[in-house]
Amino acid sequence: MKLKLRLNKNIWIVLLILIIVLGLYFQYLYMKCNLIKIYKNKDISATFQIRDRFKSILNSAEIEFKVNLKSNIKALKSLYHFYQNIKLFDPKTIAKLLNEENKGPGQYEVFVIDRNYKIIKASYKPDIGYNLGTFPAFKKVLNNVFTGKEKIDISYVHLDIASLNLKRYFLIRSPDKKYLLQIAYVIDIYPKLQTTYYKLKAKFKDLKNMQLYFVDKYLIYPINLEHRFSKKLSLKALTKISFDVFDRLLKESNQYQKILKSKNFETLGKNVLNIFQKYNGIISKINLKQHTIEITTIIQGFFKTLTNKLIIKNQFDTIELEKSLEVIKFRFLLFLAVLLVIVLSFKYIIFYMSQELRKLVICMKANKKIEKTNFFIEEIDELISTYNGYRDKLNKEIKRNKELLKENKRFVVDTIHQIKTPLSIIALNSDFIKMQTKDNEVLESIEEIEAAISMLTHSYDDLSYFASKKVVNYKPVRLNFSSILKERIKFFSVLAKARNKKIIADIEENIFFNINKVELERIIDNNISNAIDYSKECEIYVELKKADNFIVFKVVSFGDKIKDTKKIFEKNYREQDFKRGLGIGLNIVKTICEKYNIKYTVYYQNGQNIFEYKFVTIT
């Protein structure tokens, strides 16, 4: 055992080095992941602070819309009366009148919409000519008011993409039922957003970029924090922008594809919130190639409606993170270099010290005598002397044991052959006596003798095959399996009768298989013999059938369940120790099955032990 360990020392050294290297590498990965996590958490913390600042602006606007709701409805009714009583209805003039009476922080805008859902007059000029009917949800709302299903309609809060003002629309049908009259209550939060944006950029030095998106019930609007008053976009263009933004922001989610395909505008705002909630309100992504950590979060309004939300997408610089990563990478490589130097030095020392030991090991493995050396370690010389002494003794003992084994083998073979002649004489005399006598008692005794002869013959055949299988070449020939099985059943019938048992055969005629007769008989005899020995009932069933590309041979007997169906085929294994036997029968069967690719199985069913063999036939 010690010799083996010494021979394998290189393997242990390699394994130890590998473990150390892997340990260092995993420690490097752990430190790297931990460092990234620290920086990411720092940026998430900054994002939370940014979110709180913008949330206060959104909450303030939402409260203003809530507080002024009644006065907005009152202004809508005033708009209705103005249209009824003023001959020349001018939205710009009416808006001026409404704003003079307005006490809130917002401003009113006035619009006139025709039957084609187009804004034909407006105090806010960019909206003139705007076709609201191109958007299905808006068209439905306008149509409900036009047809009188709804007296008025109060919209959710919108973001005007041109002015970047928040607007809430109030809609009523004109007294003459020709138009829709609409006011918008406008709150300008852009200056606060822009001021907050610049303050936050100054506060967080690693904040490279920030992008805000306003989310209402149907659409997502990008907010340009550098400047406002962009071009007024059509509703078709706005929907495309919404889903482009949705795609860019949330494409890591599995849900977004379904939403994009369905084009379900009415659930867009709700789905945006659901996706963020799935990620606990934060979607983070790190890209060291672009030197950024991207943190995206969402803000709900004070009243937590589904229509007022802000998405904040922050990009933080990773230069400091990358510097720190380079430091731990350098440390890892330094430790690796030091380890390599130590290993090479150790390897050199071991190589120098172990040259003589290698020579000794080579001689030991080759069983050669070792000449004494002048090596400076005295124990080596002592080991050589001891080894040479034991080697001489061991070689003499091995030579003696080989001669004894050869003699024993020759004795066993000669003994087996000598048994055959007296066994044949006993069988012939038994048959002769049986033919000459009619005495029932004598006949019964003769049957018992024949049963004993059958047992001896079976044991002789097993020993003969076992002793000669390495010498004799058992060549396969085409045999009538059915006929040979019938002969062997007839042979074992005497033994079965002596044991008060009966063999019941179900054999299909003219089944042929390429196998040596001696080997086929070994399979048949050992299975039937075991069934006679171990069966607890008198009936033993033997079956031979042909099915598809198989010949199925079964031996079925009632008895105790076999404890280990795999070990039963091993040499010298017996399920019941009190049963006497050679313990080689089923091992011989296993060897023959493996030779001819015969599939063998043992299973227990309905109180029966079933030995089943499938002989593969070539069609």
What CATH number is attached to the domain comprising 580? 3.30.565.10
What are the residues facing 118 on neighbouring strands?
131
166-173 vs 180-187, strand pairing mode: antiparallel
Q: What local confidence, expressed as pLDDT, does residue 110 receive?
A: 95
Length of the chain: 619
CA quadruple 574, 579, 581, 587: dihedral, nearest 10 = -20
Does residue 244 share a domain with residue 179?
A: yes
Domain boundaries, position 375? 362-425
Residue 611 dihedral angles phi and psi, to the nearest 5°: -100, 115
Does residue 212 share a domain with residue 64?
A: yes
Q: What local confidence, expressed as pLDDT, does residue 585 receive?
A: 80
Q: What local confidence, expressed as pLDDT, does residue 455 receive?
A: 60
Q: Is residue 152 part of a domain?
A: yes
CA quadruple 139, 144, 147, 148: dihedral, nearest 10 = -150
pTM, to two decimals: 0.53
Does residue 306 share a domain with residue 378?
A: no
Q: Is residue 17 part of a domain?
A: no
Q: Is residue 413 part of a domain?
A: yes
Q: Report the b/e string of 330-354 with b at 16+ CB within 10 A.
A: eebeebeeeeeeebeeeeeeeeeee
Q: Is residue 26 part of a domain?
A: no
Tens of pLDDT, residues 86-96: 888 899 999 99
Residue 286 belongs to a domain with what CATH number?
Answer: 3.30.450.20
Q: Is residue 260 part of a domain?
A: yes
Does residue 297 share a domain with residue 186?
A: yes
Does residue 180 share a domain with residue 62?
A: yes
Does residue 546 share a domain with residue 416?
A: no
CB burial of residue 580 (10 Å; 0-12, 13-18, 19+)? exposed
Q: Is residue 114 part of a domain?
A: yes
Does residue 513 share a domain with residue 601?
A: yes
Does residue 373 share a domain with residue 303?
A: no
d(CA 582, CA 571): 9
Q: What local confidence, expressed as pLDDT, does residue 3 receive?
A: 44
Q: Is residue 214 part of a domain?
A: yes
Does residue 116 share a domain with residue 62?
A: yes
Does residue 263 share a domain with residue 139?
A: yes
Tens of pLDDT, residues 374-397: 655 666 677 777 877 777 888 888
d(CA 589, CA 592): 5
Number of folded domains that form the chain: 3
Does residue 526 share a domain with residue 418?
A: no
pLDDT along the chain (619 residues), means of 10: 50 81 87 89 90 89 90 92 88 92 88 94 91 87 92 90 90 93 94 92 90 85 84 79 73 54 62 77 85 88 68 90 88 87 73 66 74 64 76 81 70 56 59 64 62 63 62 83 91 84 92 90 89 89 91 93 85 61 76 91 92 85
Q: Is residue 330 part of a domain?
A: no
Does residue 417 share a domain with residue 285?
A: no
